[in-house]
Each structure stands twice: as structure tokens, then as C-alpha cells.
Amino acid sequence: MSNWMATAIAFSNIALIKYWGNYDSSLRIPSNSSISMNLDGLYSRTRVTFTTERDMDGFILNGLPVGDAALQRVHNLLDRVRQLAGVWMYAEVESRNNFPTGAGLASSASGFAALTLAASRAAGLELGESDLSRLARLSSGSACRSIPGGFVEWQAGEDDKSSYAFSIASPEHWELIDCIAIVSQAHKPISSFEGHVLADTSPLQPARVADANRRLEICRRAILERDFDALAQVVELDSNLMHAVIMTSTPLLQYWQPATLEVMRAVTDWRREGFPACYTIDAGPNVHVICLHSWANQIADRLSQISGVSEVLTAHPGGSAHIVSDVDAADF
Ligand code: PMV
């Protein structure tokens, strides 16, 4: 194994209080702070090898070479790492997601978190958690929340130094399960990357942002006190507010499919019947149904019976991004 190689794993995360829109796009300082839960079963594994044998960076995702905009984003991150480490070799990046890429399951979060950790370690850097989180943030905002473990808050901050994520509770703190109802595995037509730029065109965005700290506090307290009812209400409100902004942008966006709405309605009905479950949706059609551990089997079962739901994935709260050794080449 070369000295200039490292492999990292990072988990995807589901935002309970969403990040949508930037206060500073170039530094990716968000308009509001956000809270998420890492997802144990859904990860990216990424290997970075700096080598004198390359005359440009290369990126292989899920076994296929990637060019254009995705390669450019990888190259930009590698440039920041090279600059920090004083290393001037190009790199080969191999990455694999064990879940559908680009369908609202936060593949950019886990992918860029794993890439940040692997690239910095391969270049000989030993960065602390907040510095890794800041570096990941520059590539994909939500990636900064996949660096720490468990339940994570990204403080918006006001500049590059103050905008990073930290853990507010360990993965073991609360046995929540995310039952993800897959409605479509297709690549989303407009990435969240592009969506953030449109957020400020919605007349609803200032109201969403103005109320964000209140929602954040309710959510943080609900997690710390393991208060599911309080969590459920604020999580659904926050998701609906983000989608209201998305649907009223110019040009307007729309991520939902008919089955997305079916699941939302079903979850609301089930909660009325006494099931501890709530929905939240990122920038895609799939619905994350958060529930208490002891109800997860029943809820996953019910979700799989809804027409238009092709698969239900389940995930526990996940840990932090970490380095792994001895990964077989065949795994990439
Ligand atoms: O980090 P990005 O640019 O992929 O944006 C993430 C946006 C949402 O997933 C919709 C919300 C969030 O906070 O993760």
C-alpha cells in the first residue's frame, strides 16, 4: 500500500431541520443552521491515491469513470487538500455508494465526507473534526454533517471558520429508525446544488429562515429529551416549509411523485392511530419515515404495501466518518 493512499467510509444523513439556500454561496455558508441524523446502513466508501503517475485527477464512481461537473467538484476538493498539505500530485479517486445515487438519499453528503477524510489522510494531514467538517462543507453543505457521528447540528456561522457541524448526541442516545420508502431510483432532474441558488427567489424563504432557530431549538430539545411527539411535529413542519420554498421558486421546482404524497398521507393517518412515526423528504421523491425502533418492522411493512413504493430501506443512527484499512480492490 502506498503512503499516499487512504480509504474512508462516511454515512449518509437525513436532515431533521433542513439546509436550503446559502447566505454566502461561494463559501457555502447556509442561510440557517440545520440538524440531521447519520444513517448507519447507507454509506460511501472512498479511496484516494495521490500518485506521480497521473497527469490529471480521475474519479470512478460505482465502477464507472465520471467526467464533467462531478469530476470538477472532486478536483476542487483535491486542490484544497493539496494546498493545505503542500502535496502536488494528482489523485485517483474510487468511490462506491451502497444505495441509489442522486435520488434524495444524500449521496453527495456521504460521498464528499468520505472523500474529504480519505483525501486529507492520503495527503498526510491529520485534521480535527471541525476542520474536516469545514472542508467537507465547501464541496457539499450537508457533507459537513456526515463527518461527526450520531445526531448532528451544523451551526450556520458567519464565515468559513465558524460554519461547521458537531455531534449533539451519540448514535446510541436514541433508537430511532429511518424507514426510507423508495419511490424512484432515478437521478433527480435538478440537483440540490442547483436548488440552493433558487431558494432566495421564493417569497417564502425569508419566513422559513426567520423561524429556523425556533425550529432548531425545538428539534434539539426533542432529541436530547427523547420526546418523539415534539420531534415529529417540528420535523414535518420543517420539511413542508422547505418544499413550499422549492415549489415557489423561480423557476419552480417539484421533487415529489404521486407516491410521495401517498406516503405522507399514510404516515399522518398512522400517527393519528398512535404510531410514533413522522415523514421528512430531502431534494428527491423518496420519503424518510422516522420512527421509534420497536415500531420499525410494522411501519416498514405498511410502507412496502403502498402502491408506488418499490423498496423500503431501514437505517439506525450512524457513527462518524472513519478511515478503514485493507479494502480489497474488488470492492471498488
Ligand atoms: O448538501 P446539498 O447541497 O446536497 O443540500 C442538501 C439539501 C437537503 O438535503 C434537501 C437538505 C439537507 O439539509 O440535507
Q: Which residues contact 234 (CB under 8 A, 6 or more apart)?
A: 16, 17, 215, 218, 219, 222
**What's the pLDDT score for residue 203?**
98
Taking only the tens place, the pLDDT of each residue in 251-302 is: 988 999 999 999 999 999 999 999 999 999 999 899 999 999 999 999 999 9
Which among 34, 36, 43 is positioned nearest to 12, based on CA atoms? 43
Q: Give the number of the atom of ligand 1 that is nearest the alpha carbon of residue 17.
A: 13
**What's the pLDDT score for residue 327?**
67
Which of the listed CATH numbers 3.90.280.10, 3.40.190.10, 3.30.230.10, 2.40.40.20 matches domain 3-171?
3.30.230.10
**What's the pLDDT score for residue 104?**
58
Q: What angle in degrees, to the nearest 10, is found between the helix axes of 68-85 and 129-139?
A: 150
Locate 256 and state its grid cell. 415529489
Distance 102 CA to ligand 1 centre (A): 11
The residue whose C-alpha atom lies closest to atom 6 belonging to ligand 1 is: 142
Taking only the tens place, the pLDDT of each residue in 178-223 is: 999 999 776 667 888 889 999 999 999 999 999 999 999 999 999 9
* Phi-psi sector, 250: left (phi>0), alpha (psi -120 to 50), beta: beta
- Which of 11, 13, 19 is the pocket-test mutation for ligand 1 (most atoms within 8 Å of CB)? 19
**pLDDT tier, 67 (very low <50, low <70, confident <90, very high otherwise):** confident
Distance 273 CA to ligand 1 centre (A): 31
The residue whose C-alpha atom lies closest to atom 8 belonging to ligand 1 is: 282
**What's the pLDDT score for residue 138?**
97
**What's the pLDDT score for residue 1?**
47
Distance 282 CA to ligand 1 centre (A): 7
Taking only the tens place, the pLDDT of each residue in 71-100 is: 999 999 999 999 999 999 999 999 999 886
The residue whose C-alpha atom lies closest to atom 9 belonging to ligand 1 is: 282
Distance 254 CA to ligand 1 centre (A): 15
**What's the pLDDT score for residue 328?**
65
Q: Give the number of the atom of ligand 1 that is nearest the alpha carbon of residue 140.
A: 1
Phi, psi of 5 (to 5 degrees): -125, 140
Q: Give the number of the atom of ligand 1 that is nearest the alpha carbon of residue 282.
A: 10
Taking only the tens place, the pLDDT of each residue in 97-153 is: 988 665 557 678 999 999 999 999 999 999 999 999 999 999 999 999 999 999 999
Query: Which residue matches cell numbers 416498514?
Result: 300
User: What is the total residue count of the chain?
Assistant: 332
Domain segments of the chain as ranges: 3-171, 176-315
Which among 182, 157, 203 is positioned nearest to 28, based on CA atoms? 157
Which among 13, 35, 32, 15 is positioned nearest to 200, based on CA atoms? 32
Distance 195 CA to ligand 1 centre (A): 9
**What's the pLDDT score for residue 76?**
97
b/e sequence 40-78, b meaning 16+ C-beta within 10 Å: bebbbbbbbbbeeeeeebbbebeeeebeeeebebbbebb
Task: Classify the C-alpha dihedral 232-234-240-242 as positive or negative.
Answer: negative
Q: Give the number of the atom of ligand 1 that is nearest the alpha carbon of residue 19.
A: 13
Locate 57 and state its grid cell. 485527477
Percent of the residues in the chain that have a pLDDT greater than 90, as a whole number:
87
- Which of 28, 192, 197, 247 is the pocket-test mutation for ligand 1 (most atoms within 8 Å of CB)? 192
Taking only the tens place, the pLDDT of each residue in 152-178 is: 999 999 999 999 999 999 999 999 999
- Which one has a higher pLDDT value, 70 or 268? 268
Q: What is the mean pLDDT of residues 29-53?
A: 96
CATH class of 176-315: alpha beta
- Which of 20, 39, 193 is the pocket-test mutation for ligand 1 (most atoms within 8 Å of CB)? 20
Task: Classify the C-alpha dihedral 278-281-285-287 as positive or negative.
Answer: negative
- Which of 18, 253, 260 is the pocket-test mutation for ligand 1 (most atoms within 8 Å of CB)? 18
**What's the pLDDT score for residue 325?**
86
Pocket of ligand 1 (CB under 6 A): 15, 18-20, 34, 106, 108-109, 140-142, 192-193, 196, 282-283
**What's the pLDDT score for residue 326?**
65
Q: Give the number of the atom of ligand 1 that is nearest the alpha carbon of residue 18.
A: 13
**What's the pLDDT score for residue 127?**
97
Tell me how far apart the alpha carbons of residues 74 and 99 are, in angstroms, rounded to a whole number.
20
Distance 169 CA to ligand 1 centre (A): 21
Distance 192 CA to ligand 1 centre (A): 6
Residue 304 CA: distances (Å) to CA of 40, 64, 257, 291, 327: 21, 31, 16, 15, 34
Would you say the CATH fold of 176-315 matches that of 3-171? Answer: no
